[in-house]
Amino acid sequence: CLMLKQKALLDSRLYLRAAVEFGSIMLWFYLVDRTTFFTYGTKSYSRDVLTFIFVTLTAVAAWKSMRKYKAPDMLNRWQTEEWKGWMQVLFLLYHYFNAREIYNAIRVFIAGYVWMTGYGNFMYYYHYKDFCLGRFMQMMWRLNFLVTVVCIVLRNSYMLYYICPMHTIFTIFVYATLGLGQKYNATNTGILVKIGLCVLLIYVCWDIKAVFYAIWSPFMFLVGYNDPRKPTDDLLHEWHFRSSLDRYVWIHGMLCAFLKPWAEGFLQRVDSLAFRARVAARTAVIGCTLVVLALWYEHVYKLPKVEYNKLHPYTSWIPISVWIVLRNMTPALRTYSMGIYGWLGTITLETYISQFHTWLTTGIPDGQPKMLLSFLPPEDYPLINFALATAVYVLVSHRLFTLTGTLKTAVVPNKAGRELVRNVILIAVCGSFLWLLSLVIIGAGGWGAGPAVASSTLLDASSTRQLL
pLDDT of residue 453: 40
State yes or no: pLDDT of 56 exceeds 90.
Answer: yes
With respect to residue 255, please indicate whether it lies within any of the assigned structural domains: yes
Q: Which of 128, 126, 81, 129 is nearest to 259 (CA)?
A: 126
1: in domain: no
Average pLDDT, the chain: 91
Over residues 171-182, the pLDDT tens digits come to 999 999 999 999
Instruction: In whole angstroms, give the CA distance from residue 160 to residue 366.
Output: 6
Residues 389 and 32: beta-carbon distance below 8 Å: no
Of 400, 387, 393, nearest in space to 357 by CA: 393
Phi, psi of 42 (to 5 degrees): -100, 155
For residue 456, what pLDDT band results from cuts at 50, 70 and 90? very low
Report the first-to-last Cα separation within the chain, whole angstroms. Answer: 44
Task: Determine whether 423 is exposed, middle or buried from the number of CB atoms within 10 Å of its CB (0-12, 13-18, 19+).
Answer: middle
261 pLDDT exceeds 90?
A: yes
DSSP assigned state of 158: G
Q: Quick one: which of 397, 372, 402 has its CA closest to 387?
A: 372
Contacts 24+ apart (CB under 8 A), 281-290: 282/329, 282/330, 285/325, 285/329, 286/325, 286/326, 286/329, 289/322, 289/325, 289/326, 290/322
- Region 9-25: mean pLDDT is 89
pLDDT band at 291 (very low <50, low <70, confident <90, very high): very high
Per-residue model confidence (pLDDT) at position 41: 94
Q: Please state, in angstroms and rounded to a whole number, the distance separating the CA atoms of residues 117 and 122.
A: 8
Domain membership of residue 424 (yes or no) is no
Q: What is the pLDDT of residues 391-437, one digit of tens each?
A: 999 999 999 999 999 999 888 887 767 888 888 888 888 878 877 88
Instruction: Please determine, for residue 349, whether its predicted confidence score (pLDDT) is greater than 70.
Output: yes
Q: Minimal CA–CA distance to 151: which of 161, 141, 143, 142?
A: 161
- Tens of pLDDT, residue by residue over 98-148, are 999 999 999 999 999 999 999 999 999 999 999 988 889 999 999 999 999
| Beta carbons of 331 and 265 less than 8 angstroms apart | no
Asked, for residue 16, whether it belongs to a domain, the answer is yes
Query: Could you give the CA distance from residue 418 to residue 416 in angstroms, rounded to a whole number?
Result: 7
Q: Which residues have a Cβ under 8 Å from the Cβ of 432 and sit 6 or more positions away?
A: none
Domains identified in the chain, total number? 1
Mean predicted confidence (pLDDT) in 291-311: 98
- Of 140 and 460, the one with more pLDDT: 140
Confidence bin at 4 (pLDDT 50/70/90) = low
Classify residue 342: in a domain, yes or no.
Answer: yes
Taking the C-alpha atoms of residue 242 and residue 467, their distance in angstroms, rounded to an integer, is 13
Would you place residue 468 in the very low, low, confident or very high pLDDT band (cuts 50, 70, 90)? very low
User: Is 290 a domain residue?
Assistant: yes
The single-letter DSSP state of residue 146 is H
Does the pLDDT at position 458 exceed 80?
no
- Report, as an integer, the average pLDDT of 195-216: 98
What mean pLDDT is predicted for residues 6-17? 79
Is residue 274 situated within a structural domain?
yes
Phi, psi of 14 (to 5 degrees): -60, -45
Quick one: CA dihedral 410, 411, 415, 421, positive or negative? positive
Residue 2 has pLDDT above 70, yes or no: no
**Strand 371-374 relative to strand 336-338, pairing:** unpaired
**Structural domain harbouring 89:** 6-411+447-464
The DSSP bridge partners found for residue 39 are 374
Q: Who has greater pLDDT, 211 or 7?
A: 211
Residue 459, pLDDT > 60, answer no
* Residue 416 is assigned to a structural domain of this protein: no
Average pLDDT over residues 287-296: 98
CA–CA gap between residue 151 and residue 165 (Å, rounded):
13
Cα gap 93→104, rounded to integer Å: 14
Q: Closest Cα partner for 336 from 61, 23, 127?
A: 61
Pick from 304, 294, 295, 243: nearest CA to 100: 304
Res 445 pLDDT > 70: no
Query: What percent of the chain lies above the pLDDT cut of 70?
Result: 92
Q: What tens digit of pLDDT does each residue of 57-70 get? A: 999 999 999 999 88
Distance (Å, rounded) from C-alpha 97 to C-alpha 47?
9
CB-CB contact of 211 with 205 (8 Å):
yes
CA distance 20 to 336: 39
pLDDT at 444: 64
Q: How far apart are CA 118 and CA 357, in angstroms?
A: 29
Backbone angles phi and psi of 156, in degrees to 5: -105, 160
**What are φ and ψ of residue 246, in 5° steps?**
-125, 30
pLDDT of residue 134: 86
DSSP string, 195-243: HHHHHHHHIIIIISHHHHHHHHGGGHHHH----TTS--S-TTHHHHHHH
- If we measure between CA atoms, which residue out of 111, 72, 93, 118 comes closest to residue 323? 111
State the DSSP H helix or E strand holding residue 389, giving kind and residue range, or none if neither.
helix 382-411
